[in-house]
């Protein structure tokens, strides 16, 4: 279905299948059908695609088991691959896919592809892991992914060659924006060869920047861990006269972790995100505002998302293995700028800088994310077994739904700075920056 919203936007919500599902579903119901249901979305949930069109319904297919499946479970082989940076909950998703496939549907052959998309490419010589309920039973207690991961593009033709050699019927690909684009390229090659292989994406990023996915798994855990760093920064700041606690948080070019952590504690005085430019000096500048705060209250806490203030830094012009631009270090930059500014003042300022980046992404999932990952994994299996393809499983307005890959890869999600959400963040800090 392509919904033309006020003749200004087109949102394609049609979910493709590899063929007609004719086999009775061995999994326990209740079953759902393919009739799309209406969603009224605001910019927070649908991003730029629905901005200003909140009164127009968008019809989206619900996730869940179908009455009939396409694949014969006893003759089906699945593969799972994790790509990109680490994220809390990866092992939980793997475990959920394996358990639902094995016990819910009777699929006995489930392959774990090692080290991301490299695992499909012969020249890397990565082994394949057989995944069973026994060897995934406890993996949710550990951070990271038992399959390993990697960044960087790989040739879709070689990947599909590998899928054919292994007789894989369905591929679960877990990753962020770049990974979903890779999944789309793999799907195109599958279409070109006219193969009956399902490709199901499970969106993953602690940055929370996937289009049409209001909250990706791992985000809650990342915020939990980030708040621990904020508490430490606050303790350090109040422990010295004119103390400044400075924390840099992950998020790339979206400031969701920084904003959410700020909301959670009410101890942050300045939050800097990529969506809102700021200046250092002059009227409305960060440094004069920080000086005023220190003279009035003798301490301050600053949270900076890693993509904030990039216009103040010298651009390297480089990109990483995933094609993302390499960001300058805003944390080190601010630390030096604060020290230089106050060196000319009659204030002995102490700056404690904390960067918890790899701690944030490497820990096991918390309870909320664990439940979320389990539901994502199980619904991914329901979709694949029904023959769905070229799609991701996501939670939208507390419902699990199917979204086309092309929709979630249209753009990166960012904070809407005109939203009530961002207004609440600013109200929490009390900052007044130009």
- In this predicted structure, the answer to whether residue 2 has a pLDDT above a threshold of 60 is no
Are 76 and 170 in contact by the 8 Å Cβ rule? The answer is yes
List Cα–Cα distances, 1 to 34, 39, 286, 353, in angstroms.
12, 14, 48, 50
The number of angstroms, rounded, from the C-alpha of 231 to the middle of its chain's C-alpha atoms is 24
Q: Do domains 2-216+365-408 and 221-361 have the same CATH topology?
A: yes
Q: Which fold has domain 2-216+365-408?
A: Rossmann fold (3.40.50)
| Tokens, residue 396 | 């939208």
Query: How is residue 31 written in tokens?
Result: 């079953």
Burial of 371 (0-12, 13-18, 19+ CB in 10 A): middle
Q: Has domain 221-361 been given CATH number 3.30.365.10?
A: no
Residues 6 or more apart in contact with residue 194 via CB below 8 angstroms: none
Question: Would you state the pLDDT for residue 11?
Answer: 81
Closest alpha carbon to 174 in 313, 42, 81, 99? 81
Whether residue 102 is preceded by a cis peptide bond, meaning omega within 30 degrees of 0, is no
Q: Catalytic site residue 207?
A: yes
Q: Residue 227: is its pLDDT beyond 80? A: yes
Q: What is the pLDDT of residue 317?
A: 67
Q: Which of 227, 183, 174 minimizes the C-alpha distance to 203? A: 174
Residue 1 vs residue 243, higher pLDDT: 243
- Whether the Cβ atoms of residue 325 and residue 318 lie closer than 8 Å to each other: yes
pLDDT, mean of residues 325-343: 92
Quote helix, strand, coil % in the chain, to nearest 5: 40, 20, 40
Q: What is the mean pLDDT of residues 151-166?
A: 95
- What's the pLDDT band for 408 if we cut at 50, 70, 90? very high
Q: Is 68 helix (H, G, I), strand (E, B) or coil?
A: strand
Share of the chain above pLDDT 70, in %: 94
Over residues 119-150, the pLDDT tens digits come to 999 999 999 999 999 999 999 999 999 999 99
CB-based contacts of 162, cutoff 8 Å, min separation 6:
120, 121, 122
Q: Is the pLDDT of residue 108 over 80?
A: yes
Q: Give the pairing type, strands 270-272 and 299-305.
A: parallel
Taking a C-beta distance cutoff of 8 angstroms, is the pair 87, 218 a contact?
yes
Ordered by start, the domain boundaries in the chain are: 2-216+365-408, 221-361
Of the residues 207, 220, 224, 369, only one is catalytic, namely: 207
């Amino acid at each position: 279905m392509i919904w033309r919203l006020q003749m200004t936007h087109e949102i394609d919500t049609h979910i493709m299948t590899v063929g007609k599902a004719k086999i009775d579903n061995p999994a326990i119901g209740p079953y759902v059908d393919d009739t799309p249901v209406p969603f009224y979305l605001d910019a927070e949930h649908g991003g730029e695609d629905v901005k200003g069109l909140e009164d127009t319904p968008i019809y989206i297919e619900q996730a869940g088991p179908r009455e009939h499946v396409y694949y014969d479970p006893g003759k089906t082989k699945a593969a799972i691959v994790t790509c990109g940076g680490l994220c809390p909950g990866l092992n939980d998703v793997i475990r959920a896919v394996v358990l639902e496939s094995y016990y819910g549907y009777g699929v006995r052959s489930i392959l774990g592809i090692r080290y991301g998309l490299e695992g499909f490419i012969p020249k890397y010589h990565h082994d394949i892991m057989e995944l069973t309920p026994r060897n995934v039973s406890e993996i949710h207690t550990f951070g990271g992914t038992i399959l390993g991961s990697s960044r960087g593009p790989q040739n879709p033709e070689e990947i599909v060659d590998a899928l054919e050699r292994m007789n894989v019927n369905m591929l679960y690909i877990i990753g962020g924006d770049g990974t979903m684009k890779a999944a789309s390229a793999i799907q195109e090659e599958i279409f070109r060869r006219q193969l009956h292989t399902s490709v199901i994406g499970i969106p993953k990023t602690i940055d929370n920047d996937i289009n049409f996915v209001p909250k990706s798994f791992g985000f809650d855990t990342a915020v939990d861990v980030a708040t621990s760093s904020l508490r430490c920064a606050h303790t350090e700041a109040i422990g010295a006269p004119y103390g400044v606690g400075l924390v840099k948080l992950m998020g790339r070019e979206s400031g969701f972790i920084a904003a959410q952590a700020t909301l959670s504690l009410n101890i942050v005085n300045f939050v800097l995100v990529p969506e809102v430019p700021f200046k250092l000096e002059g009227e409305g500048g960060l440094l004069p505002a920080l000086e005023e705060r220190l003279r009035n209250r003798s301490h301050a806490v600053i949270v900076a998302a890693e993509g904030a203030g990039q216009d103040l830094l010298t651009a390297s012009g480089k990109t990483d293995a995933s094609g993302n631009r390499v960001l300058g270090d805003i944390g080190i930059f601010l630390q030096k700028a604060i020290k230089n500014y106050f060196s000319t003042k009659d204030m002995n300022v102490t700056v404690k800088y904390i960067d918890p980046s790899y701690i944030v992404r490497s820990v096991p999932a918390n309870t909320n994310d664990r439940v979320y990952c389990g539901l994502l994994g199980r619904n991914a299996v329901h979709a694949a077994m029904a023959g769905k393809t070229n799609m991701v499983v996501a939670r939208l307005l507390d419902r699990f739904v199917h979204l086309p890959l092309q929709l979630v890869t249209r753009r990166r999600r960012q904070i809407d700075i005109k939203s009530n959400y961002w207004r609440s963040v600013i109200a929490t800090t009390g900052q007044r920056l130009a």
